[in-house]
Amino acid sequence: MIAMVRLDERLIHGQVAIKWSRHLNVDRIVVVSDEAAANPVVQKSLMMAAPATAKTTIKSLEKAVKLLQDPKAADHKILIIVSSPEDLLKIVTQVQGIPVINVGNYGRVAAKHGTEVRKTYGSNLYAYDDEAEVLKKVIDTGIKCIYQTTPDDTPEELAKVLG
């Protein structure tokens, strides 16, 4: 079963490896990123950051959807991590059984739109208008959407954060 889907442009790092994986008590982490899946160096660094307590896999969006749609996935407690609002929308519209979407860190290091500046929505959430619109489409799926950097932080409804 899926425990949570998290938007975090850094994918696996301390907050995910230590705090979220333990808080959710997951036994699997699925990193969904076409970029990471195609880059062996990125894969190695993500695997080094991954917790020993959860088997971690890095998949392209297409392969991740197939993996998560497999009935065998229900036998595991899975944290899905995506690095962009667009990938988040694709996952939540193609994969069933997602109980909650967590937006944690986005917009500091993501690809830029020229010299345009992202709006600040939270201490760790920055988005261009088009990215905020994609996040609103995610909210429109009806799945519970929260903004929360770490499990220790108080979760906020993403709709309220985006205004």
The catalytic site residues sit at 13
CA distance 30 to 5: 9
Q: Report d(CA 147, CA 134) in Å as an integer.
A: 15
Host H or E run for residue 120 = strand 119-122
* Contact yes or no for 2/97 (Cβ under 8 A): yes
Q: How many beta carbons lie within 10 A of that of residue 21, not counting itself? A: 24
